[in-house]
Amino acid sequence: MKHYRKDTSALVIGAGVAGLSSAIRLANKGIQVKVFEQQATYGGKMGVWEQDAYRFDTGPSLFTMPHYVDELLTIDGKDNVPFDFEELEVICHYFWDDGTTLQATKDLELLKDSFEKNIGEPKENIASFLKDSQTKYQITNHVFLEKSLHKLKTYFSWGTIKSIFRLHRVEVFKTMALQNERRFKQEKTVQFFNRYATYNGSNPYEAPATLNVIPHYEYGFGAFFPTNGIRSIADALYQKALSLGVEFHFNSSIETVEKRGDKYLLNGVFESQIVVCNMDVAAAAKGPLKNLLSGKRKDYEPSSSALIFYWGINREFTSLGLHNIFFSDDYKKEFHSIFSQKQIDNDPTVYVHISSKQKPDDAPKGAENWFVMVNAPYVENQNWDTMVAQARENIVKKLSRSLGIDVAQHIALEHKLTPQLIQKHTGSYKGALYGSSSNNRTAAFLRQPNFSSVHKGLYFCGGSVHPGGGIPLCLLSGKITSDIIAHDFNLF
């Protein structure tokens, strides 16, 4: 069998987390890797914004399953890139408009006690749910998360066969909300666990109950905070890539990808047999890959987007933690607004992330940096100026009611990120945060595969392809893609 020389090259389009993951893995196999990024820096949505001594991580804020990062940073047997993180004792603070509060803790006994004491949910219901979430993970992990769903060999491993015989436990044909309503006694508990559908931009009233696997990522593996902030994940991956000889080209937009024989030509200049696209696939199909994906890639239902305000708050709030959720009164109505009416609901669930709680130098002394986010529809010809202004007013009112203080009087600094800006700056199709939604039972199989079945040497990674969006899944996307490349090109 032919083995390719060490001078085999690969071209990666996009320096998001999945692009960095695939670049590291390919470089570790001894091939030359060049990464092209249209922005001036790496990390994709994992950006940073600073002003007046306030610092904000602009994208993802929750960090789970850190072993996937550690695996990349030590992939060559060297521990030469520092990366520190700590596990959270309190994962998230929850607030309801009627004054009910709950702290979700890593200590599961305390968590179950809190549900029983604060919400009236029998602790055995919580224990049963978390056990079921773990079972769903054990069934789906090696099949749906760590391997390609579009390679026949995936289905002939003993682990996959065992999982197939247990697929009824995954509850693909039942909706997340319906199963949670049947399982729990209290409406607040149902809302609490329905929220996990938003982790991949989906609607719990339409998405399959399979998504009840997501809580296991937090309560089975824990939630963490990088010592130097979320951006330091991208920093560490970038440094590791450099140490392995990866070459980066920033401010380098790829406009065309042409196939010439068994090679690809990018912008008429860069040539290779291997191209990895870390762009949003729907956007790439309308851009540089339009001649290669034309007719092969249909528009899909995008996931939800987000409206984010970055507020410098000139005081401290002792009732808040690192992660905070202020629930809407009518969750079903909120998702109907987002996915059916393509609007931000007038009573949105509000997420407030305050990294200065863990990293005090992210805000001036006696102040806090608030990352304030609500779920928003993808871009579809809305009047965003009006919607954003109204949403801001509703958010301020909601937080002020819950905290018993006029929040608006303490906003010393403001910056915002809208779905339109997400689309513009990250290339996300219609501003969707996670590519396609999971609002039907076949969504996992309808995601773009990690490879082209038509054009050998063309591969895909990132939140818009298998296995999905979010930091852990994007890292796994890079792994799946590089494993397929290694098999296709005998890079062992």
279 in a domain, yes or no?
A: yes
Domain holding 174, by residue range, is: 113-220
Report the pLDDT value the prediction gives residue 453, as an integer from 0 to 100. 87
Q: Are residues 181 and 233 in the same domain?
A: no
Q: Are residues 236 and 295 in the same domain?
A: yes
Q: Are residues 127 and 176 in the same domain?
A: yes
| Full-model pTM | 0.92
451 in a domain, yes or no?
A: yes
Rounded mean pLDDT, 389-400: 98
pLDDT at 115 > cutoff 80: yes
How high is the mean pLDDT of the chain?
91
- Helix H, strand E, coil C: the string for the chain is CCCCCCCCEEEEECCCHHHHHHHHHHHHCCCEEEEECCCCCCCCCCCEEEECCEEEECCCCCEECCHHHHHHHCCCCCCCCCCCEEECCEEEEEECCCCCEEEEECCHHHHHHHHHHHHCCCHHHHHHHHHHHHHHHHHHHHHHHCCCCCCHHHHHCHHHHHHHCCHHHHCCCCEHHHHHHHHCCCHHHHHHHHHHHHHHCCCCCCCEHHHHHHHHHHHCCCEEEECCCCHHHHHHHHHHHHHCCCEEECCCCCCCEEEECCEEEECCCEEECEEEECCCHHHHHHCCCHHHHCCCCCCCCECCEEEEEEEEECCCCCCCCCEEEECCCCHHHHHHHHHCCCCCCCCCCEEEECHHHCCHHHCCCCCEEEEEEEEECCCCCCCHHHHHHHHHHHHHHHHHHHHCCCHHHHEEEEEEECHHHHHHHHCCHHHCCCCECCCCCCHHHHCECCECCCCCCEEECCCCECCCCCHHHHHHHHHHHHHHHHHHCCCC
Q: List, for residues 349-383, the tens digit of each pLDDT value.
A: 999 999 999 999 999 999 999 999 999 999 999 99
Rounded mean pLDDT, 39-45: 95
Band of residue 8 on the pLDDT scale cut at 50, 70, 90: confident
Q: Are residues 210 and 233 in the same domain?
A: no
348 in a domain, yes or no?
A: no
19 in a domain, yes or no?
A: yes
96 in a domain, yes or no?
A: no
Q: Are residues 207 and 257 in the same domain?
A: no
Q: List, for residues 222-258, the tens digit of each pLDDT value.
A: 999 999 999 999 999 999 999 999 999 999 999 999 9
CATH of the domain at 480: 3.50.50.60
Residue after which a domain boundary falls, among 200, 220, 240: 220
Q: Are residues 212 and 259 in the same domain?
A: no
Q: Are residues 139 and 205 in the same domain?
A: yes
Q: Are residues 153 and 201 in the same domain?
A: yes
Residue after which a domain boundary falls, among 190, 220, 250: 220
401 in a domain, yes or no?
A: no
Q: Are residues 244 and 190 in the same domain?
A: no
Q: Are residues 136 and 202 in the same domain?
A: yes
Residue after which a domain boundary falls, among 220, 243, 267: 220
pLDDT at 75 > cutoff 70: yes
81 in a domain, yes or no?
A: no
What's the domain count of the chain? Answer: 2
118 in a domain, yes or no?
A: yes
Q: Are residues 196 and 257 in the same domain?
A: no
Report the pLDDT value the prediction gives residue 172, as an integer from 0 to 100. 64
Report the pLDDT value the prediction gives residue 294, as an integer from 0 to 100. 63
Q: Are residues 168 and 264 in the same domain?
A: no
